[in-house]
Structure 1
Amino acid sequence: MTRRAIVTGVGHYLPDRVVENSHFESFLDTSDEWIRARSGIERRHFATEGETTSTMGTQAARAALAAAGRAPDEVDAIILATSTADLTFPSAATMVQAELGMTRGFAFDIQAVCAGFVFALANASALIASGQAERILVIGSETFSKLMDWSDRGTCVLFGDGAGALLLEAGEGAGTAADRGILATDLHSDGRHKDILYVDGGVSTERVGHLRMEGREVFRHAIDKLAATAQSAMDKAGITSADVNWIVPHQANIRIIQGTAKKMQMPMDNVVVTVQDHGNTSAASIPLALSVGVERGQIRPGDLVVTEAIGGGLAWGAVVLRW
């Protein structure tokens, strides 16, 4: 028998403030048509006063726990993927732990930018497989609106805020691709490409920074790297694209999503797409899309799902799981 990390609950949270593309027309040389054509984004959510990465993560975690029928003190650990923690320290994960009233276990943040949730899933799967935890909340939560340079039309129109969460629980499988749970993970990074996607400030530089991106260079790397890491994860799981029910990609840009699906020989009918409503929510985008996919009735128990993401670092990876 093989110990697997199985998804038993999923949930998400989006701020009430919805920002349509037309919002940017009053202060940028842009238009709804321009933004849609280049990104597929129509609107996004921005955190309102008092909302932070931890408060949104807490709401998503509560929804995932409710879906699983579990209480906070039944959870052994929280792993929160984010690049926009409330404070330098402590971690946003420990703040979620406190807000949930969880008085046992451990919590920590993980930072791999837009690939953060994939890295968090891989870590959670390893902790469960090794017997160090029975139940782990894996959260992606971001307030990227705090990092925007509102004069840069190439970046500020692309990002949004929100949170999504999964509850993973230990279960037994036969060690085959027919098992439920996480079947394979594949992680990569290459620090040589730092300068094409980064924030130009931080604690050790003594200045608050803004997100900077060379969009064409990111696009050039994204499709090949995403398709390759997805293929590697599928090879590890012993499956092919023909076996996959759903691709749930990082929701960065519709052209990247379409290009990656084409390279993987997957029809867009089998891709969960939420970028039009949420924009790029970085580490929150995959759990948000998983939750919305379940809510829509797309993702069902037994479905084989591939998630993949790429972000600053560069860092990228993929996970294969059976719902």
Structure 2
Amino acid sequence: MFDFNLIVQEAEKTTSFWSFSQNWFDILSLILTIASLWLAYYLGERGYKRDKRDKAKEQKELVKSEIKLFENNLGQLNLAIDAQLKALKKYKEDKNFSLEFNPDVQVDFLKFIDVKHIYESIGFKNKEGIGKVNSLFAALYSLNDFRHSLRDSVRTYIARYTTLEKSFYLYRKLMYRMLHEICNKRAIDMQPAVGGLNINFGDNHFARDFFRLNQSVLNNPELLNEHQIVIRSKLIELFIIPLIELSKQHIPLNEDAIEIADMANEVNSAWIDMEVVTESHFHEIEGHINSLEKVQREITAFLELKK
């Protein structure tokens, strides 16, 4: 016969075992899940920190390269400024309307520079260094329109000077054509003589004195330079000013004196204005020279900081 109670007891033992085993399985699954999550977090955090370090290192190298490029650009700019300064000083000395422009005197490279990196490389606590960086950038930005400003200055000067020069060249008409016309109209008698003519103007004292002044100036060795070119200041001194004074003595009675006085005054006025615009222009050129020299000083001071 079967013992029913024994069977029930055995069934209860079996149920209790499976219940115990199922609880441990759930706990183990939970532990493995937590461990997996922790491991994933650990690996992710480790990778993030590694990436962060790598990016920081890359950024540091990038900034270092940017600063090196900036310093190289400053060196190239310094060389270009040297060449432009030589050209400006020669132009100022020769005053011959011929100025060589150096296209490399420009600061376009500033568009590709993160200014913050320059300050960081010096150190924000370095007050003296920061002051020099401030001065450097102020000087560099002053060159933004340097090329256009310099070209416009020279172009404007040449245009104004050549316009005035047309009036100045009336001296040629005074010295040659007007003399010829007055001699033909006013001379009573002409006789060949050694070195020229003896001309009798009768009682026309203006024609006589104009002829004498003209001949004395043309024969004056001080009028021409070593290249046989008229020295303009000497022309004004020896011919135009005396001619104006001579004409005054015969105005308003002598019509030739009136015409010649008008032309002589126009020549003299043109010369005065030519001198004024020249002085003003070369004052601007001196300003450009000073600006470039200041930029050079600031570049040198900055590069000394980096040594």
Q: State the TM-score, normalized to the length of structure 2.
A: 0.23
TM-score by length of structure 1 reads 0.22
User: Which structure has the larger Rg?
Assistant: 2
> Which of the pair has the greater relative contact order for Cα pairs under 8 Å at 6+ separation?
1
The structure with more strand, counted as a fraction of residues: 1
Q: Compare the two structures and name the one with the higher helix fraction.
A: 2
